[in-house]
Structure 1
Amino acid sequence: MVLTKLFRVNISNPDVSVLSEVCRDVLDGKIVVFPTETVYGLGASIYRSDALRRIFIAKNRPMDNPLIVHISKKEHLYEVAVDVSSNILKLIDVAWPGPLTLILKKSSSVPLEATAGLSTVAVRMPAHPVAEILINCTGPIAAPSANISGRPSPVTSHHILVDMFGRADMIVDAGDTIFGIESTIVDISTEPPRLLRPGAMPIEKIVEILGIDVIVTEVAKGYIEAEEAIAPGMKYRHYAPKTPLILVEGDVDNVIEVIKNIKKGMRIAILTCSENAEYYHRYVDKVVVLGSKKNLFEVARNLFIVLREIDRMGIDIAISEGFPEKGIGLAIMNRLRKASTKIIKSLHRTYS
């Protein structure tokens, strides 16, 4: 058990003196939970291998699952990566700071613990004032999400306290995150670029900036796991509640058919869009609305909150509808597929 120091800061007006104290401790080898616009991260200085190893212990994270290096200015990029091409610069000039992680060739200064021994490094520049102030002081910070491995990523104050109090040296609490889902990860060290994990930045936006296609693999869609984790979210089960979750990729009739086939007496919750909620009340014990199909950012923002709440609902099994795989919808479906214990696909999917 670690004696955790808790700092609460205002996202609109962060207390620089508080963050200076946190900075000193990070430089001294401590690990910190800190906010970003996507989810909370559990970070350490990339120049403290001892602290990086403690991140894996605190999360129960496999050592072959690389971290993301968080930077706050372009100069940091050249500290941690090499062969930064004009294509890369074109992308980051538009997309950074923001919820986009790029896989690049790593520099010799990045320790093996941050990259799981790979020759590449995952890098992003968060669009969050607290993260920016902190990283300006500490230099690059390597961090995965601040949750116990396999569980939904933390997006609220409650989540980080439940998962990391007594595990991290410090927690910087700035309230709920903005997007509620992790960054998009693109391997731009290959030609053509590959989407490794969909996230808060839609792949369509990245294609528009680059002016070239980006390969979307079955791993990125969430159907299969990668044999080797080049980036977070590619290998191992993620985002999962303890309660069994069935994902039905079909229309309302398909979902109702699945519900009817579940063993009598089992308490059931349905995760649905607001447009379909009325159809389920007579069939289940609890109807949980994630948001509207017309506003998938709302659905994404609520997803991890609901996946955590499932275990406190007093139900035996949860069922989720599918959502349109456009924009951030691809990230929503990736997370639902990885969180599910079973996926049922219909030949007649109608999400739009």
Structure 2
Amino acid sequence: LTMIVPKGDCIPDEVSCGLDTVGIRLPSHPMARALIRESGVPLAAPSANTSGRPSTTTAAHVMHDMDGKIAAVLDGGACGVGVESTVITLALERPRLLRPGGITLEQLRSVLGEVDVDRALYEKIGDDVKVSAPGMKYRHYAPKAPVTVVRGNPQDTAKYIAERISDATGVLCFDEYKNMFPNCIVECFGSKDDLGAQAREVFDRLRAFDDTSVTQIWAQCPSDEGLGLAVANRIKKAAGFSVIEI
């Protein structure tokens, strides 16, 4: 969980992208916690991926993006959750969810009561709109080929995509429907009912398309309940919110 709070004068502007707030979190991974403990100071930690690219969930992903730019990688194994931390701002009149993650909106509301949801989770934000955290506005988590998301009943979305594929098409789909897309590149990111697997696999599968010759990617997408809100948000942002509802 990342909590955004008003920052004091002791926090450098470089840490907060010039904003008057700062995001604070404590990792759950024992290696990350050991690093913080050994350093004896708070650590400023940007994401370990090239801006706009799918997030890194393994040390190999980090080396692919950052080799030659950083001194070392501490390999603690694959990320347990996959999607990044939930981001909530506490600097407004009411708590507001800015980025869904492993801690769900339902869990937050069970503790905090009312929690607003930022519209950037559901739609593309205009260039003139001031956002509350970096990375909320632009196409993000994106492979090289453009992505189109199809939302609705999984069987119906699979059929819709199957009617539009070609040899140069990539498909990000639930495990149950992989055989519906012959003669194209298929990446499965978990069963339609296994949100945990989807959260762990979505970035790895999006990255896999960059090792192929696909020129267009179609993607299935979970509903917004529970952890599905985080998975759906990442896929829609990878698509620049190019979404077809059926």
TM (norm. structure 1) is 0.64
Instruction: Find the counterpart in structure 2 of residue 116 from structure 1.
Output: 17
Is 1:256 matched up with 2:159? yes
Residue 219 of structure 1 corresponds to 120
CA distance in 1, matches of 2:190, 2:158: 17
Question: Is 1:200 aligned to residue 102 of structure 2?
Answer: yes
Which of the numbers 281, 289, 293 marks the counterpart of 2:181?
Answer: 281
Q: Which runs of 5+ in 2 are unaligned?
A: none
Aligned position for 1:22: none
Structure showing greater radius of gyration is 1
> Secondary structure in 2 aligned to 1:181?
coil
1:133-212 correspondence runs (5 A): 133-138=34-39, 139-210=41-112, 212=113
User: What displacement does 1:266 show?
Assistant: 4.2
* Aligned residue identity for 1:269: G
| Structure 2 residue corresponding to 1:314, chosen from 205, 210, 213 | 213
* Corresponding pairs, count: 242
- SS for the counterpart of 2:98 is strand
Give the C-alpha shift of residue 122 in structure 1. 0.6
CA separation of 1:155/1:121 partners in 2, compared to 1, >3 Å: closer, same or farther?
A: same
Where do 1:8-27 residues align within 5 Å? none
Paired with 1:114 and 1:144, the residues of 2 have a C-alpha distance of: 9
Per-residue deviation, residues 220-271 of structure 1 (Å, max 9, x unmatched): 23x2237234223312221000012111113333443355346xx5422221
Report what 2:6 is aligned to: 105
Alpha-carbon distance between aligned partners in 2 of 1:332 and 1:229, rounded to the nearest angstrom: 21
In the alignment, the residues of structure 2 paired with residue 118 and residue 325 of structure 1 have an alpha-carbon distance, to the nearest angstrom, of: 29
Letter in 1 for 2:168: R
Query: Whose strand proportion is higher, 1 or 2?
Result: 1
Q: How many percent identity over aligned positions?
A: 37
Q: 1:320 corresponds to which letter in structure 2?
A: A
| Residue range with higher mean Cα deviation, 292-301 or 223-232 | 223-232
Alpha-carbon distance, 1:320 to partner: 0.5
SS of match in other structure, 1:204 = helix
Q: Tell me what 1:244 maps to.
A: 146
Q: Contact between 1:293 and 1:324, CA under 8 Å: does it hold in 2?
A: no
**2:229 is the counterpart of 1:330:** yes
Cα gap change, 1:261 to 1:171, in 2 (>3 Å): closer
Pick closer, same or farther for the CA change 1:330–1:277 going to 2, 3 Å.
same
Q: Report the equivalent of 2:33.
A: 132
Question: Greater shift after overlay, 137-146 or 337-346?
Answer: 337-346
